[in-house]
Structure 1
Amino acid sequence: MNTVLTLPRVGLKAELRVLACRLLSRNYAQIAAASLGKSKVWDLAEEAVKDVKTGDVILSGGFGLCGTPETLITALSKRNDVTGLTAISNNAGSGDGGLVKMLKSGQLEKLVISYLGGNKYLEQMYLDGKMSLELVPQGTLVERMRAHAAGIPAFFTPTGASTTVETGGIPIRFNAGGFKDGVMIQGNKKEFRVFDGKRYVMEPAIAGDVAFVHAWKADEAGNLVFRYVANNYNNVMARNAKLTIVEAEEIVPIGTLSPNAIHCPGIFVDRIVKCTEPKEYEILATAPPQCVSGTEDPKIEQSSRRRIARRAAQEIGNGFYVNLGVGIPTLVTEYLHPGIKIWLQSENGILGMGPFPLEEKADPDITNAGKETVSLLPGASIFDSADSFGMIRGGHIDVSILGAMQVSGCGDIANFMVPGKLVKGIGGAMDLVSNPDKTKVIVAMEHCAKDGSPKILKECTLPLTGARAVSQIITDLAVFDVDRHNGELHLTEFAPYVTIDEIRSKTSCDFNISKDLKQMQI
């Protein structure tokens, strides 16, 4: 008689589960072992860039010299066989750092950037017709790269609407004789549409052939961690290109980095090399020695620039999220009312930015939008440029204070270039004025230019940064509220040392006088 052993149903299920777990564990172990055998680490940067070819579009991370892939740029600049490149970056570097190397080696045919700044070499090459230059608003530039990485061919943005960005009015290249000899390549004209009564321009995605990325840490599978503000463009660029090459300060084995710490997953990364070039400060800005009470120079404290900053500070309330442009706006924090605490946002990726650090605490990876070293306050956060401009365009900033070359009576602002003479670049200004219904845009500037000509005009004669974007103008002579919708200017305050007639004589547009007109408290 045969005996049949019958296992309880519950026990059978348990046995099967154990067996399945063992098989899965074995498979996962094999997969992990296989991945360990496929390290993305290359020994030499020169070898890692060997597949870059003439005519490629190179995405180069960094903001100023912060997070710039200097090791990879240096390696590529040594290749005489690669020319006709298009480089896309926030800016082209400074001094001999960054993409300047490839400009001087004759490898770059075109630059697509947001900001030239003080790069006189690049500015002169452009004005002399020796290279092509496409200027793109900073937030639009990073979003165009993020869009391609996400499979989106184009998008609509308010940034640049009703400006030369929309009309294609900024030439990409002048003729060989330079600016005076006419335009060889016109700017790209953009389609526009109106959504909910607001004008938007369509921007095409940017596709890169090769991305050069600087990371703080990378594991052998290509997972990346960025350090502080060096995140900037690197995160988005790493996701965009056909071939992504990373230089990392530290390369670690798989499993070393916490999954919670990863900024960019390894699926986007193809090659990794050890970073060998040293970090450089673009502007080492440090805190001044403590002033002894009563020793401040009264001439400095009473300068027109500081009077403007002191008055502008009165527009900031406790807990505000604020973005301050370069120049006079940077002085505003020195004059906040006691007890006022604010969150300073810097468009290169900081919320909770602090003052200049002591020299011994300066860090090249913690810089502001002016490329100066700064500190971080308790509660600060760091993010990449895509997130930064998302919060700016989305109207999450309470107040944005900028300088300007010109402002019109209806709130138009011009502050980024003088055609044929000064080509600083657009930077983040167009984004900062793109949502004036949610973010109060204040212009803080001297009332007249150095030659005595008015800076408040009926119509701006320089290329616009934004149309009907400014809500308030604060100068050394007066304060104006701007009715952007009706195109009217209202004088609300005047300086104690001027008359209304003097203000009229130095303002090239009509304005109304507020019934609540008062003297400026400066």
Structure 2
Amino acid sequence: MIRDKVVTADEAIALIRDGDVVSCSGFVGVGTPEELITALERRFVDTDGPRDLILVFAAAPGDGKDRGLNRLAHEGLVQRAIGGHWSLVPKLGKLATDSRIQAYNLPLGTISHLYRDAAAHRAGTLTKVGLGTFVDPRQNGGKINARTTEDLVRVMEIDGEEWLFYKAFPINVALIRGTTADAEGNITMEREALMLDAQAAAMAARNANGLVIVQVERIASSGTLDARNVVVPGVLVDCVVVAPPGAHKQTYGTDYNAAFSGEIRVPVNKIPALALDERKLIARRCAFELPLGGVINLGIGMPEAVAAVAAEERVLDHLTLTAEPGVIGGMPQGGLDFGAGINTQALLHQNQQFDFYDGGGLDLACLGMAEIDRAGNVNVSRFGSRLAGSGGFINISQNARRLVFAGTFTAGGMSTCIEGGQMRIVTEGKTCKFVEAVEQITFSGPLAAAKGQSVHYVTERCVFKLQPDGLQLIEVAPGIDIERDVLAHMAFRPIIGEVTLMDPRIYRSKPMGLAAVLEDLQLSDRLSYDEDRNILFANFEGMAIRSDDDIEACGASSMPSVPRSDGGWR
């Protein structure tokens, strides 16, 4: 036993045994214990041990190159990996796609919940998340290759409804990160951008008689830490490792930003406007779907630009943006800072954020899209030998009340130009994104249509809407010819009814005046009824009453009829 909890990285890592289940925290570079991962790689290279580890991670702790879990992509070191997001750990991903290790891709939020269930010694996690997707065992149960044979997911029927049950497993070692530790191993996170699942993973390892190793920035004297700031109590911690500054950057993109940790607030009206390219055009059209007063999730990549458009249009203060690792409010960041946020209102543990998401807390989610088929299915997770992973995409897309997918119409070298408010395709992309059948179902269109979820697919040149019979083309950009610029580059013909022009303000260089547009919603757009929960949602924020007609519209005759609990209507 180690009596002094403060040890070197090599001393702590020496305690890991062959075959251990090792969980590692991190969301890109936020909360990633780089010094511990480096020490684990160093031990294996120098001593050929430990061997046959089972790695567990929710969001990929990596930079897409060499840092994070990419360091552990050594044959013999890892025998199995269970991860939520794989895109930023391509070296580990290649071991998986080459069938050199057993590997699973499960929803990020579900892995986050599995830590908590493992800590409580529950059998597993019961949820609807993953139904109809590649995680559903009637497809492939989240298995990445043929070498992976154990079933971790199964279908269960309860009271006539289908659920997915994800099998829990013990965590032998938890590698986590904090800011400050005292001699007893109590951990605070005042300079961290996120808390992630550090507490739940540490509890899971402790309750399995395992090992909890924490990387920190500094050591405090006993009794000096405010108990209310302690995120991981010392009773859960075995080893504390003080990392050198270069191994404890706040994110992979930023050494330290006081705004990421909530130390200061910064003005967002100084954010420079985006150039008027395809990315901004798509973000602008998505912004027309923003619900004032609503709670919103913006995914990585193309959707990140929606926040910049909202800031430029001065509507950011009327929205609550969130990010899946726990950020509530403020402005989520992008690139290698993704996961962090500035001017946040609250910071939750990652598993708590997914409690909120899975329960239908999001009014709108805007996510990326890579492949789309005629049924409205979306693939963002697997493309041949390229393994991106689902991340939190499945949790978010299945449970948001309204959903907008954002992406260019084609990929691979596409270029456009705007001339006089008209769009012209200069060079078409080499890759068709609207395919007959997606390679892997990360989002199920038929499942969404069956439960009446509002789903739009936004590109720079057109917009589709999900209908019970599949994708319907509903809007095209000014200057776009439907046959030449849209249908000719799709592997299927969508439903075509009345097609309107996309708002011309999207294609002008000046601000769109979005605030006035969103504030001037018709009453019918401000009311929605959730049948499953028997709740009427009314949004009157920014509502203007300017005429007798507006007053009449607010009358009882315009209100939708909704069922009462006694079976009648009101």
TM-score tier by shorter-chain length is: 0.7 to 0.9
Structure-2 residue corresponding to 1:154: 124
- Structure 2 CA distance for partners of 1:195 and 1:345, relative to 1, 3 Å: farther
TM-score by length of structure 2 reads: 0.71
Instruction: State the AA in 2 paired with 1:441.
Output: L
Contact 1:317 1:340 in 2 (8 A): no
**263-272 or 98-107, which deviates more:** 98-107
Counterpart secondary structure, 1:513? strand
Which of 389, 396, 410 is the matching residue for 1:448?
410
What residue number does 1:414 align with?
379
Quote the offset at 1:473 in angstroms: 1.4
| Conserved? CA contact 1:73–1:99, under 8 Å | yes
Kindly indicate whether the alpha-carbon contact (under 8 Å) linking 1:58 and 1:85 is maintained by their aligned counterparts in 2: yes
Partner in structure 1 of residue 540 of structure 2: none
Match of 1:169 in 2: 140
Structure 1 residues 196 and 322 mapped into 2: Cα distance closer, same or farther (>3 Å)?
Answer: farther
* Corresponding residue for residue 72 of structure 1: 36
Q: Does 1:213 align with 2:176?
A: yes
Question: Which structure 2 residues correspond to residues 259-298 of structure 1 after superposition, within 5 A?
Answer: 259-276=227-244, 278-280=247-249, 281-284=251-254
Alpha-carbon shift at residue 454 of structure 1 (Å): 4.6
- 1:461 is matched with 438
Shift of residue 518, structure 1, vs aligned partner: 4.4
8 Å Cα contact 1:344-1:352 kept in structure 2: yes
Counterpart in the other structure of 2:296: 322
Task: Give how far 1:494 is off.
Answer: 2.0
Q: Report the CA distance shift for 1:455/1:46 in structure 2 as closer, same or farther (over 3 A).
A: closer
Q: Which of these residues, 8, 15, 18, is aligned with residue 44 of structure 1?
A: 8
CA distance in 1, matches of 2:348, 2:271: 38
1:484-515: per-residue Cα shift (whole Å, max 9, x none)? xx23444332211123444444441331414x
Partners in 2 of 1:274 and 1:237 — Cα distance?
A: 20
Change (3 A) 1:133 1:353: farther
The amino acid of 2:440's aligned partner reads: P
Say yes or no: does 1:493 pair with 2:475: yes
Secondary structure at the counterpart of residue 282 of structure 2? helix
Amino acid in the other structure paired with 1:240: A
Contact kept, 8 Å, 1:480 with 1:493, in 2: the verdict is: yes
Q: Deviations over 1:437-494 (max 9, x none)?
A: xx2111112223445565345x5321111212461111222222223xx234443322
Q: 2:324 aligns with which of 341, 347, 350?
A: 347
Matches of 2:150 and 2:335 in 1, distance apart? 26
Q: Compared with structure 1, are the counterparts of its residues 480 and 93 closer, same or farther at alpha carbon in structure 2 (3 Å cutoff)?
A: closer
| Aligned partners of 1:347 and 1:369 also within 8 Å | no
Partners in 1 of 2:215 and 2:391 — Cα distance? Answer: 26
TM-score, with length taken from structure 1: 0.77
- Aligned ranges 1:23-62 → 2 under 5 Å: 41-62=5-26
Structure 1 residues 195 and 411, CA, compared in 2 at 3 Å: closer, same or farther?
farther
Contact 1:169/1:187, CA 8 A, preserved across alignment: no
| Counterpart for residue 105 of structure 2 | 135
2:32 and 2:340 map into 1 onto residues whose CA distance is: 18
Assess if the C-alpha contact under 8 Å between 1:111 and 1:132 holds in 2.
yes
Matched-pair contact (CA < 8 Å) for 1:77–1:105: no
Consecutive unaligned residues of structure 1, counting only runs of 5 or more, are: 1-37, 175-182, 357-367
Name the amino acid aligned to 2:296. Answer: V
Runs (5+) with no aligned partner, structure 2: 258-265, 413-428, 449-453, 507-570
Query: Residue 491 of structure 1 contacts residue 517 of structure 1 at CA under 8 Å; is this kept in 2?
Result: no
Aligned with residue 382 of structure 1, among 347, 350, 355: 347
| 1:275-329 alpha-carbon deviations (Å, 9 max, x no partner) | 3463244234999xx9999xx89xx51x333222111111113222211122221
Question: What amino acid sits opposite 1:252 in the alignment?
Answer: A
1:429 to 382, 393, 410: 393
Distance in 2 separating the partners of 1:253 and 1:422: 48
Distance in 2 between residues matched to 1:171 and 1:405, nearest whole Å:
19
- Which residue in the other structure is 1:251 paired with? 219
Of stretches 462-471 and 396-405 in structure 1, the one that deviates more from structure 2 is 462-471
Please state whether the residue corresponding to 2:291 is helix, strand or coil. coil
Q: Choose which of 178, 184, 196 in structure 2 pairs with 1:232.
A: 196
Q: Secondary structure at the match of 2:288?
A: helix
Aligned residues: 452
Asked if 1:334 corresponds to 2:334, the answer is: no
| Distance of 1:87 and 1:519 partners within structure 2 | 47
2:360 equivalent among 369, 378, 395: 395
> Relative to 1, partners in 2 of residues 1:212 and 1:380: Cα closer, same or farther, differing over 3 Å?
same
C-alpha displacement of 1:139: 0.6
Residues 1:339 and 1:62: Cα distance change in structure 2 (over 3 Å): closer
Distance 1:513 1:69, change over 3 A: same
Structure 1 range deviating more: 234-243 or 76-85: 76-85
Amino acid at match of 2:331: G
Instruction: Tell me the distance in 2 between the aligned counterparts of 1:291 and 1:497.
Output: 33
5 Å matches for 1:179-190?
Answer: 183-186=146-149, 188=151, 190=153
* Contact kept? 2:184, 2:234, Cα under 8 Å: yes
Task: Provide Cα deviations, 1:4-46, integer angstroms capped at 9, x if missing partner.
Answer: xxxxxxxxxxxxxxxxxxxxxxxxxxxxxxxxxx965233333
Instruction: Please give the root-mean-square deviation of Cα atoms over the aligned residues, in Å.
Output: 3.3
